[in-house]
Amino acid sequence: MFQKVLIAEDYQGDNKSIFDTLKATLNIPEVQEESYCDKAFNRLKVAFTNQEEFDLLITDLSFKEDHVPQGLSSGVELIAMGRNLQPDLKVIVNSMEDNPVKIKALFDTYKINAYVCKGRHSLDELVKAVRAVAEGKTYLSPQIDFNTAKNVFELDELDLFILKNLAEGFSKKEIRYKLKQKDLRPNSESTIDKRVSSLFTEFGAKNSTELVAKLIREGLI
């Protein structure tokens, strides 16, 4: 079982519940907590420098802004920085997010070890997740189904190509030309319009800039 765990969670009540569960149910000797990503990362850095590394990071994805200026403002950024510092750091995400494509991206892109969806039974699930990760396994809340097509919006090769080029500032006309050069089909402007429109709807974006920003923030591109 893990010996040293860091919790990053901005709600004090959630922090205390997780802290108490790790101590009482799993008998983890050292549990620390932070409500800001910057401070959580600083704890990781200090522990790493002192060769007293954390075994496990449990983090939320969303952290509300307040009067305290923050360099790192999301759990995704914290995970990325933490893994860059300490590649073998185990990570469990504990969040309200229930969109399978976003959660799958966390496993695929950031190689998280477990995902617990906050809810009525999330503390019980968190215990299962910690035990699973300690045994070298992964864990996913049972209500999240990567294989249910109606719940998953897949970004295929064409979507990714269009999005990456939009992010780089290319116009739809320029993207169409690049698609034709690479012989990627379909490559008409109407197809590009339809693809972008469906992505706007799926991710609740009003324009290309907002769409790209959301997808980058969520680690999808």
Q: What 3-state class would DSSP assign to 62?
A: strand
- Going by C-alpha positions, the residue among 70, 206, 28, 205 that lies closest to residue 215 is 205
**Would you say 62 and 11 are in contact if contact means Cβ atoms under 8 Å apart?**
no
Amino acid at 47: A
72 and 174 inside one domain: no
Displacement of CA 178 from its chain's centroid (Å): 31
DSSP 8-class letter at 67: S
| Full-model pTM | 0.70
Pick the more confident residue, 181 or 140: 140
DSSP 8-class letter at 88: T
pLDDT band at 150 (very low <50, low <70, confident <90, very high): very low
**Would you say 85 and 64 are in contact if contact means Cβ atoms under 8 Å apart?**
no
Q: What 3-state class would DSSP assign to 55?
A: coil
Q: Which two tokens stand for residue 211?
A: 């769409």
pLDDT band at 221 (very low <50, low <70, confident <90, very high): low
CB atoms within 10 A of CB 199: 22
87 and 50 inside one domain: yes
Of 113, 140, 167, the last residue of a domain is 140
Residue 152 has pLDDT above 80, yes or no: no
User: What is the arithmetic mean of pLDDT over 26-38?
Assistant: 94
The predicted pLDDT at position 220 comes to 65
The predicted pLDDT at position 219 comes to 61
Q: Is residue 61 a part of any domain in this protein?
A: yes
User: What is the arithmetic mean of pLDDT over 54-77?
Assistant: 86
The predicted pLDDT at position 114 comes to 98
Domain span at residue 169 reads 154-217
Q: 177: domain CATH number?
A: 1.10.10.10
Residue 151 has pLDDT above 60, yes or no: no
Residue 97 has pLDDT above 50, yes or no: yes
Q: Is residue 149 a part of any domain in this protein?
A: no
| Average pLDDT, rounded, for the chain | 87
User: What is the arithmetic mean of pLDDT over 169-180?
Assistant: 87
177 and 130 inside one domain: no
Pick the more confident residue, 60 or 187: 60
Rg over alpha carbons for the chain, rounded to the nearest Å, is 20
pLDDT digits (tens, 9 = 90+) for 176-198: 888 888 887 787 888 888 888 88
Q: Is residue 68 a part of any domain in this protein?
A: yes
**Would you say 158 and 184 are in contact if contact means Cβ atoms under 8 Å apart?**
yes
CA separation for the pair 165, 174 (Å, rounded): 9
The predicted pLDDT at position 153 comes to 54
Beta bridge partners, 58, equal 7, 92
CB atoms within 10 A of CB 124: 12
